Every structure is written in structure tokens, then in C-alpha cells.
Structure 1
């Protein structure tokens, strides 16, 4: 299907059918990417404890850049999809050009600052002096190439805004595959290629990003979705600033919301640490299980916004409401099935991920309780995405703050005081329940206002 036809179908095709058509390719892309990330960690772990620890210290820094890229992608998708829905394709094409250029400028500036402040930043993160040479090897290449990380992410957002979710998923999967192929070759060496160690892992990432840049630019040009020509003969710089401002208005709050999650998880880890090393290890396993169990939620959070934004731009609030509710019902049903599967396989999962019995017992406790809230958590995540899609980014940011720091962390801590780890896990589920109710009420109220 041509890009223009795919775009028009978002405001005409049956909502449930279109949502499924847009979501299943993203499920494949997200699942593949997560799998390849696990492979990446596996190869680095084969270098020894210090290289793995060095890369672990880079996560807060790299996640900051990635959060900015994700936020810019969210802003891009929301702005462009609304223009398509309002039948303003020329403006949408120029917004695509603006999004790609402003994201490259911002990430390049952030990378330069990060490179110049590398030693003091990692010292603040308590990285041991013996790890600093490894961190410098990895991050120097990472900073040099990270502009190529943001370009495919924003380019994919342009494609999704036009109604194409299949191609971005293939780009995600191909980038992950390239990384998995080049990782062992560059880390350990092969034939004339010397072993580069941790530096090779960074280079493998850069190569995979470069392949994504090539594919994205080729597809955007082929489908004529990006243009540097300002609409209606406006002065270039004036039009570019206005377009960039609209993207950043949504993108920056979205990036901030993304960065709140690791901050909250750091606090939670500190609370769990009071119960000893087995509890921390089990909580880490639980977090990885959560990412795997939430693949469909993450996929819907990427496919739902373009559908909502285009119909919002076309003033089809009835279809916005239908899309939102359809996605929530799907998430609740699917996550209930996933919970039952995890419950049945809890003992086997615990044995696979835990060598010590103490850790296995806590992993099973986690599985019995925490996944009960994953469907509710899905409601929160999809509501956040929907707020961004209807250009209410501050609502999305405030919802994240309420969930994490008004309810999730305090109720989890209160539960731990009252009933140890069992209470901590129950507190998290209760927090997700309260936040899901708030999220649904809040977004429904916004839609009623639009209709009024």
C-alpha cells in the first residue's frame, strides 16, 4: 500500500482492524530488538566482570540520550499525523525535514557536552578508577555515532505518522540483527579483523545505526514523506523554527517522562536492597521479565498514537475514543493471559534465572503478584501515548509523575513497612490500579471537552 493510501486509511478503515494491522508488525520489531539487546549483553559479559560493569555504568548516560530521541520521535509522530489528518500533507512533509534536522542538532550538542564532561560525569556515578579506561573506550565511539541513533528513530516516527508501522519494525529488527552479527566479530576478532574488546561493542552499535540511517533516508525519499521546501512560500528559517517548536513542545515533556522511570527504579532498588543481595538479584530478574511481558504494551504505545493523532486532526473524536478504548480492552485481555502463563510457569522461570534458592523464591513471589498490575500499567502507558497524540504533553508528564512518585514509590515503600517484600509488591499493584483509574478518567474528560 502506498504511503498516501496508508495515511488516508487511518481516518476511514474500521478502527479495530486498523489498530491490529498497525500493531502486529511493531510487536515483531520490539520483540526482536529486545532479543538482540540480550545477545549484546551476553557477548560483553564474555569479556569479564570489569567490561560488563563498565557498560552497566554507561546505561544512565546512554538512556538520557535515548530518552531524548524517543521524546523527539513522539513529538514528530504527533505533529505530523495531525497534519495528515487535517489534510495538510505539504506541512507534514516539511515537519518531517524539521524533525530530522532539529533532532540531529540536539543530540549532537548533547553528545559533545557528554564527551567533554565524560570523566566528571562517571565519577559522580561512582565508577571505579580502574573502569574509567574501559568506559572512555566505549563512550568515545558511542558519542561519535549517536547522531545516527536518533535519525532512524525520528525517521521511523515519520513513517508511523503516515500510517506505515511495518517498515519501521523491519528497520528496528534489521538494526538489531546487524548489531548481533557485528558484536562477536568486532569484540573477539575474526580473520584480519582484530579483537577490539569493549570498543568493538560500541562500533557494532554505530554500524547498526548507520544501516538504519541508510534505510530510513531511502524509504523517506522513495515515499516522498520529507521535503525541505517550506509550505505556502513561507521564509525557510521562520517556517523551520515554527515547525521545530511544535515538535519540541511535545517531544521535550515526553523525553522528561521517559527519564523519570529509571529514576524511580533506582529508588525502588534502594528499598529492595535493604532485604539483601538475593532480593536485589530477584528484583533485577523481575524487571527483565516485565520488559518481556510488556512487548505488546510497548507495541501499542507506538501504533496507537498515529491513529489517534490523524483522527484528532480530522476532528473524528468518536474514532479517537473508539481507538483508545479498543487498545485498553486488548491490553487488559492480553495481559491477563500473560499473567496466567507466568503463573503456571513460575517455578520453571525461577529455576532458569536464579541459581540460589533464596533468589528463586523471591522471583516466584514477584511473579505471583507484580504481573497482576501489568494490564493496569498498560492503561497508564497507552493513556500517556494518547495524551501526546492529542497534543497534551504536560498531561502525560504529570501522569508519569503521579504514577511514579505520588503513588508507586510511596505505596511500595508503605507496603514494605507493613508486610516486607510481599507488601512492597502488593503496593506496586495497588499504585497501578489507582493510577489507571486516574488516567482513564482524565483522558475521557479531555475527549468530552473536545466534543463540547
Structure 2
């Protein structure tokens, strides 16, 4: 189940890279404007991830318990209320673009570009959220290939449409930065329709009626009991990253450059386990719904073993190519040395970091979202940020990197113990 999701996640990463590449051809102001949009757009993305987690856990448990009719009705109601909610959010967001981005520090020279991009992006965000929720519904049935193909198709459509609409190639109008947003919503709109069609025609998880508005709201709130804490947990990561970036900046611009490269390498290094964290929950939820707790425990322990062994393998690979990795990203000797230092220390904790987020996703799958959120809060704000800051104070970047590893090790040990205790109780 995990392998197709890996390719799907790679395609999502390329989606943003493609947008940044083509917008950068327009000029520095347009690229800076696109950078300002990230914190706001990530809020919508976090909401969609939270809804996806709640959807997958709820539907998979219903399927596992044999309540197929209820699963169909909940899937339908959840998508309907989500779509209506996103329309309201998009309308309010479009009306408040200027004050929100002024608050973030955008100047008058960038606001026209931000407005051009976000007014279109917000209007089409409903399609992005519907794709995420539909794909999580498909994964709840055990199908990860179809969601991966849908994500890949979305990225391909965006890649094709971006230059056509940004630069006005052929018969297409030259839309500038607005063209990047238009390309995104066309890609999302087309693939959202495809995802919904799969749910209706292939999986039989959509019905063409609702029982009542109150019942639909109750179903949506059931999903949000898991989805809202998951969304909050997801939003904590960029907040912690922003804090640590500010601390890194005290060591100079070279340190910031190396740290930025490290963050990109981290996403790639953890790719397999990030994909596993999306496919493990429906497996756990279905077996939990069936009452097969022993199989839930087997799956969780197997995932933990894989995470530790796989990340150990990735660490060896990174060590083998440490010097070359630094030179690939910079020709500044100091930056290359700092990247090599990052490679030597930080990936030692990736296996433990993977255990942490696999445990959190497993708690969500077991309908324990508050426990999952506590793990994220504990890791980021009780250990990761404080130990990173303390390490930086005592020994600069080397101390900070060691602090990151210690934080991940301690959190993984506590999370693993907590999950084992919970499974014994079940």
C-alpha cells in the first residue's frame, strides 16, 4: 500500500517546485509574492490534511466493522459539508487578502501580485480540499494506487498548464502570476472530478441523497473530532521550523542556507515513512473496527521496525555522499561544510522521528486524536525547540543538531511506550 503513495507524494512535492520555477522567470517580486502566500495557503492545506486523517480513520473503522451503508452515507455527507465550508472560507479569505498580507509584512509593491495569485487560489481551494478528502476515502478502502495516480495526474496537468498560462504560449493569454494559480485550480478541478467519480462508480462510497442536514452535520463533526486536532498538530511543525530558523540565523547567512538545504533533505529522507504514515492508519482502523487488536499491534510493531531499519539505511547512504551533497547545493566552502555537519548528525534521529509520527498516525487511526496531538506538542515544544536552542547556546550548530537527535530519540521512546500500553488496555 505504501509504494504507490511514495510516488504520489513525490508528485505533490514537484507541484510546488514547478510553480516556484516558472514564477521565478517572471521576476524577483513575483517570486517574493509567492513566498508570502505559503503561511496562508498552508493553513488551508493543514485543514485538508486534518480532514483527510479524520475521514480515513472514520470510514475505515466503519468498513472494518461491516457498516458499509453508514460508511457510504458518512462519505457523502462529509464531502458535501466540506465543500460548502470551503466555499464560505474562500469567500471570507478573498475579502481579507490585503489586510492579512499587510499583517504578514507584505509591502505595496508586492500586494498586487499577491492579490492576483491568492484571489484565484482561494476560489479553487475547494477543489484541492475535495481531492484530499476523496483520496483519503479511497485509501480507507485499502486502495492507495488510485489516489497516487490522481495526485500524479494533477501534477502533470499543472506542469503542462503553468507555462501556457503564465507566459501566454500559443493561443493562451499571458496571465503572469495569476496564470500559476489558474493552472493549479484547473488541475485540481479536473482531478477532483476524477476522484469523486472513482468514489461513486468504482467504490460505491457515494450516494445521491442525504438523510438530513442535521445528520450530515453530525457525520462531519464525527470526522472533525479526529480531523481538527490532526490539523492543529500539522500546523505546529512550520511554527517550530520558523522558530529554529530564527535561532539558526544567529550563526550567519551561511548557516541559514545550510539549514534550508537540510530541511529539504529531511523531507526526501523521510519520504518512505511519510507515505507509510498515510497507509498505516486505514489498515489499523479497519482491523480496529473488526475488533482484531492483535493484528493492529503486529502492524504497528512491524512499521516501527521498518522505520528504524530503513532510516539507518538512508543514513549510511547520506554519509557516503555527504561531500557531494553539499557541493550540489552550494559552491561556498562554509555552506558545504555545514551541510556535511548536518548530514553527519541530524539523520541519526530520523528513524526515531519516523517512529514518532507513525505512532501519532496510529493513535489517530485508533480514534485517539488528542493523544496524537500531545505527542506532536511534546516533541516540538517540550524537547525539539528547547533542546535545539540549548544546544545552539552551548555549542553552536553542532550542539543544535545534537539536540534535535536527542529530542527525537526521547519522544520516540515515550510514544512507543504509550502506544504499547494503550494496545494492552484494548
TM-score range, shorter chain: over 0.9
**How far apart, in 2, do the equivalents of 1:293 and 1:94 lie?**
39
Q: Look up the match of 1:291.
A: 267
The answer to whether the aligner puts 1:409 opposite 2:398 as a matched pair is no
What does 1:4-19 align with in structure 2 at a 5 Å threshold? Answer: none
**How far apart, in 1, do the equivalents of 2:157 and 2:221 lie?**
34
Q: Look up the match of 2:409.
A: 433
Could you list the per-position Cα deviations for residues 384-414 of structure 1 after superposition, in whole angstroms to 9, with x for gaps in the alignment?
Answer: 1101100000111111110100000000001
Report if aligned partners of 2:54, 2:224 keep a CA contact under 8 Å in 1: yes
Report if aligned partners of 2:81, 2:217 keep a CA contact under 8 Å in 1: no
Aligned with 2:102 (options 109, 117, 123): 123
**How far apart, in 1, do the equivalents of 2:327 and 2:163 lie?**
28
Q: Look up the match of 1:364.
A: 340
* Unpaired segments ≥5 residues, structure 1: 1-21
- Shift, 1:449, TM fit: 1.1
**How far apart, in 2, do the equivalents of 1:58 and 1:33 lie?**
17
- Shift, 1:446, TM fit: 1.0
**How far apart, in 2, do the equivalents of 1:444 and 1:108 lie?**
42
**How far apart, in 2, do the equivalents of 1:420 and 1:221 lie?**
56
What does 1:103-142 align with in structure 2 at a 5 Å threshold? Answer: 103-142=82-121
**How far apart, in 2, do the equivalents of 1:102 and 1:436 lie?**
36
**How far apart, in 2, do the equivalents of 1:317 and 1:109 lie?**
40
Aligned with 2:8 (options 29, 32, 37): 29
Q: Look up the match of 2:21.
A: 42
**How far apart, in 1, do the equivalents of 2:133 and 2:113 lie?**
30
Runs of 4+ that moved beyond 3 A: none
- Shift, 1:418, TM fit: 1.0
Q: Look up the match of 1:12.
A: none
Q: How many residues align?
A: 425
TM-score of the superposed pair, with normalisation by structure 1:
0.92
The answer to whether the aligner puts 1:330 opposite 2:306 as a matched pair is yes
* Unpaired segments ≥5 residues, structure 2: none
What does 1:33-72 align with in structure 2 at a 5 Å threshold? Answer: 33-72=12-51
The answer to whether the aligner puts 1:222 opposite 2:194 as a matched pair is no
**How far apart, in 2, do the equivalents of 1:178 and 1:207 lie?**
8
TM-score of the superposed pair, with normalisation by structure 2:
0.98
**How far apart, in 2, do the equivalents of 1:346 and 1:128 lie?**
40
Report if aligned partners of 2:326, 2:339 keep a CA contact under 8 Å in 1: yes
SS of the equivalent of 1:270 reads: helix
Report if aligned partners of 1:297, 1:331 keep a CA contact under 8 Å in 2: yes
- Shift, 1:110, TM fit: 2.2
SS of the equivalent of 1:130 reads: coil
SS of the equivalent of 2:337 reads: helix
